[in-house]
Amino acid sequence: MIFARAPATPLSRSQLAWLAALVVLTQLPLWLQLPPWIAVTGSGLVVARLLLPADRLPPAHLRRWLLPVLALAVAIGIRSSFGYFLARDPCVAFLYALVGIKFLEATSPRDGGLLVCLSLFLALTQFFYGQTIAAAALTFPAVLVLGGALAALRDTPSGTSDWKAPLAATARMLVEGIPLAALLFILFPRLAGPLWGTPTDAGARSGLSDRMAPGTISELSLSDSVAFRVDFIGPPPPPAQRYWRGPVLSRFDGLEWSARPQPRIGVFAPRRGRAIEYTVTLEPHNRLWLFALEHPASLPRPAVDEILLSAAPARPLAVLTYDEQLLAAGPVTQTLRYTQRSTLGDRFAAAGEEERADNLQLPRNNPRTLAFARDLRSRVASDRAFIAELLAWFHDEAFVYTLAPPPLEGDTVDAFLFDTRRGFCEHYASAFVVMLRAAGIPARVVTGYQGGEINPNGDYMIVRNSDAHAWSEALFDGTWLRFDPTAAVAPSRIERGLGAALPLGEPVPYLARLDMTWLKNLRLHWDAVNYQWQRGIVGFNIERQRDLWRDLGLEGVRGWLIVALAAGVLTVWGAAFLWFGHWLVHRRDPVVAIWARLCRRLARAGLPRRSDEGPLAYAQRAATRWPQWKEPLRKIGETYAMLRYGPIAGTRGELISALRASVASLPEVRTLRGLV
Amino acid sequence: MSSALQPSAPSAQSWARRWRQRLWRIAPADRGPVVLRHRRIYILPTRRGLALLATLATMLLTSMNYALSLGYALTFLVAGLVASALLQTFRNLAGIAASPVAAGEAFAGGEVTFTLSLANAGAARRGIVVMPGSGRSVTVDLPAGATRQVQVTIIAARRGRVALGRVTLSTDFPLGLWRGWAYVHFPLAGIAYPTPEAPPPQLPVGLDGFDVRRSARVADAELAGLRDYHPGDPLNRIAWKAVARGAGWYTKQFEGTGGSGTLELHWAELPPTLDTEARLSRLSAWILTSEREARAFSLALPGTNLPVGSGTGHRRAALTALALFPAERAP
């Protein structure tokens, strides 16, 4: 039996309590992520088992069937609830329920060990749904209880029900293990991409999409979540120029705008205007776009925090399309940091003539809009005058900028322009582009973010999903020009943000509002902490690891050397702690120290102690060697043996001073050596 | 020590033997207190430890695939805990000084008790399992600086010396993820005496050809009753009257014979129908009875003669002589 088996005794009440605590602690962070019936079932089974008295468990043959039958039932339920099974989220849900079922039928410490392993894995799955500071903080008690549960499972069932000691012991072990964990975290090679295929449902998709219908962006604007953060080199641009270009939508089916499926690769047109350089920390959004201020003047490159070290040019992270989107090779599934250069401006040279045709396509519906646009165009002299008329019309007519526009049906653009006249930026951008196209001017919708808030704590800009925006571009004489019809309706949206533009009483996300300064301050402080967390811990990916290795002078080091380094670290770590433990124990025992000193002394005098020799035998041998010092030597041996092994006669302190005195009465080493 | 004193180039065989001894401690070569150090201590994961390591490997793969930084962090944190538990398991065992104390005695078929002493010079140890080669294991806790005597038992299958054999000291403290163990092999041996014949046969008192000098005294003794006849009972003690009546075979039992008389137990005068082990069993039973009745006895075995004596030491010497009596050669 090389690998020791777990004992086959029934689970005691205290072992069960430890396991229950572990299971609930690992299930807890998932409660909000799972369908309610799964959350209730998985945790309800744990409570059910705890409520059952120990002697009223179902009989063994029933319990044997319990696990497979319940597991099958839950699996079927999950399949019908999710509509599929072999994907990440249903599997997490299944594991969650399985832990509960296993707890219900666990009878032996062996089941307990399995339960510990399952729970540990379950504790990992919460990070699929968010790697926040809170999630990390919730994990610590779970790991502590994991140690406690393992200790309880090891203990005999009759063991003490003291719950503090195992937690304290686990905490001490964690303190010992954390240096190793930190080194592994830093040194373990990170991968550039996933191991097996792209995790299709990795992380909920948040943020902008490649489709836009009425309501898409206003829905997004209700979210306070961070889209990306920006560190500017130099002063940030003024609010009115903070157009963060994202998906460009040039296809319209009458209801919904969508992006071109296979965009062509573009080239950078020569630009005029102020160049600005900055670093973006993009939250994973599971899409291809990287955001840049209009208009990008370079391809995004991995951010290097220490600029002097950026010797080798890094590979760009994305390509530029002909409509000036920055597209990464794969979905952004982890926090991405990139440096980017832009030239601030509202125009750029079009790639070619074929763009004209692509951006004139228009479905036949919305007849009132088409008629209105054509009529207006026929009454003005030029295209530019037509656009000026349109913007003035938006400004003068009773249009309302609101987050809660009434629902639209049928010809949605018609209904919006002529009936409801209440809309959010996507309504204005969409209607504006439709009218331009109707008048024969090539135009398209551009989505992205407009604005951003400077966080004074840390001096960086936060762009939230509530800053999502849609505007339009029109092609004149081979140049794309930006027009923002929302600015015509609600100019303060562009200048001062969403909170300033919306009428009172609208459900604005509270961070977008302008009042409530102390609360907002608090939130900004918290965001600064979160930013560092995201950058340092969660965003510690292959790029940042390479930076770190470069800083440590490990650049170009081969993989096996890293492994050797890790092995060395492990050895040094183990040796250090063993030595420390040894020292802790022996430093306090003066008896051992005195004896060791004596042994060294006698060894120098020519009489080393044999390894199998006890104190009495050694003292005896020394006494025969130096009969003059027979009495103190005998006394030393006896006192030491009594202190270490014996029943102690008298107090320990007296014996120790007696031992010291006897040792002190021995002569110098030189004398002893001479006496032989 | 100079190299000249060492044996010249050891052969491959002795080299292998030395390593086997060092690894498995096959021979009882440990003397005095053995302090468990890294040279003796082995550590491997338990099954639970293996399961947890497998879980950690899966977690690592998941973290890699989904690029979960906190997944890495959790995996490495628990890995640190597991590694620390390894050190704790080692510490729990290292530094314990084991020494042999005493070996017990028993009759064949019974349990021989061995006493070992475990001295702990360091911090408190918990859950040290002491397991002899065969027999039950014992679990002890050793408080800081304490010395504990541990008694383990081995069932003696047959008479003769019973070696303690190789003892395994092991522990899976603190988390049950690692099992550390060390072998100690002391030349400690107890003794198993021949199983006394049951029920105890009548003492060979005052029998013709056994102890003629006291036959008269036996005749004076009171008849206490009859018991079932055992083959080998003296002829003059058989209740012939009962036999004649056809009531079956009984042997007369007398009372009041105890106390002062001296017994002479002779191997040669046992019924020749008995084989060696049966003779030893009978002698063993007689020795016990005579001790119970506080009578002195002498023992004559082929090759061994114990003079008349009494008391625990004498009894032990006599029983030991029986225990170590050479076994009958197989024909």
Query: Does A500 have pLDDT greater than 70?
Result: no
Residue A663 has what pLDDT? 86
Shared-domain flag, residues A166 and A253 = no
Chain B residues whose CB is inside 8 A of the A121 CB are 55, 58-59, 62
Strand partners, A454: A461
Query: With 0-12 CB in 10 A as exposed, 13-18 as middle and 19+ as buried, what is B69?
Result: buried
Chain A residues whose CB is inside 8 A of the B83 CB are 177, 180, 570, 573-574
B76 vs A577: CB contact, 8 Å cut-off?
no
> Does A541 map to a domain?
no
Tell me the two tokens of residue A14.
């205290």
Shared-domain flag, residues A65 and A163 = yes
pLDDT band of residue A588 (cuts 50, 70, 90) is low
Shared-domain flag, residues A269 and A327 = yes
Please report how many Cα atoms fall inside a 13 Å half-sphere around the Cα of residue A142, on the Cβ side: 26
> What whole-number distance in Å separates Cα of residue A22 and Cα of residue A114?
12
Strands (E) located in A124-196: none
> What whole-number distance in Å separates Cα of residue B115 and Cα of residue B152?
7
Residue B253 has what pLDDT? 64
Chain B residues whose CB is inside 8 A of the A195 CB are 61, 64-65
A131 vs B48: CB contact, 8 Å cut-off?
no
Shared-domain flag, residues A320 and A462 = yes
Residue A599 has what pLDDT? 87
> Does A552 map to a domain?
no
Shared-domain flag, residues A466 and A611 = no
pLDDT mean across residues, chain A: 82
Shared-domain flag, residues A419 and A359 = yes
pLDDT tens digit string along A607-655? 888 877 888 889 889 888 888 888 888 888 888 888 877 776 677 788 8
Residue span of the structural domain in which A137 resides: 13-187
> Does A148 map to a domain?
yes
Shared-domain flag, residues A297 and A177 = no
Shared-domain flag, residues A286 and A231 = yes
Q: Among A89, A425, A427, A547, which one carries the catalytic annotation?
A: A425
Q: What is the mean pLDDT of residues A541-559?
A: 71
Q: What is the mean pLDDT of residues B214-237?
A: 58
With CA atoms as reference, report the closest residue to A3 among B76, B317, B48: B48
Q: Which secondary-structure segment (H or E) carries A64?
A: helix A60-82
pLDDT tens digit string along B162-204? 999 899 999 998 899 999 999 999 999 999 999 998 887 877 7
Shared-domain flag, residues A144 and A234 = no
Backbone angles phi, psi at A444, to 5 degrees: -155, 165
Query: Does B209 have pLDDT greater than 70?
Result: no
Q: Show the DSSP H helices in A481-614 as ranges.
A: 485-489, 491-496, 498-501, 517-533, 542-551, 559-587, 590-604
B81 vs A5: CB contact, 8 Å cut-off?
no
Looking at residue A534, the DSSP 8-state letter turns out to be: I
- In Å, how far is A95's CA from the nearest CA of chain B? 13
- % of chain A surpassing 70 pLDDT: 87
Query: Does B223 have pLDDT greater than 70?
Result: no
**Domain definitions of chain B by residue range:** 28-193, 212-323
pLDDT tens digit string along B104-125? 999 999 999 999 999 988 888 9
Query: With 0-12 CB in 10 A as exposed, 13-18 as middle and 19+ as buried, what is A124?
Result: buried
User: Which range has the worst mean pLDDT, A202-206, A366-370, B180-184, B268-272?
Assistant: A202-206
> Does A628 map to a domain?
yes
Out of A517, A545, A565, a domain closes at A517
First vs last C-alpha separation in chain A: 54
> What whole-number distance in Å separates Cα of residue A154 and Cα of residue A169?
14
The answer to whether A103 and A46 are in contact (CB under 8 A) is yes
Out of A517, A548, A563, a domain closes at A517
> Does A287 map to a domain?
yes
pLDDT tens digit string along A269-279? 777 777 889 98
Shared-domain flag, residues A242 and A179 = no
Residue A559 has what pLDDT? 67
Q: pTM higher than 0.80 for the full model?
A: no
Question: Is A469 one of the annotated active-site residues of the chain?
Answer: yes
pLDDT band of residue B70 (cuts 50, 70, 90) is very high
Query: Does A22 have pLDDT greater than 90?
Result: yes
Looking at the structure of chain A, the number of domains it has is 3
Whether A195 has its CB under 8 Å from any CB of chain B: the answer is yes
> Does A522 map to a domain?
no
3 state SS of A315: coil
> What whole-number distance in Å separates Cα of residue A24 and Cα of residue A103?
11
Shared-domain flag, residues A389 and A335 = yes
pLDDT tens digit string along A552-572? 776 666 667 777 877 888 888
Query: Does A171 have pLDDT greater than 90?
Result: yes
> Does A563 map to a domain?
no
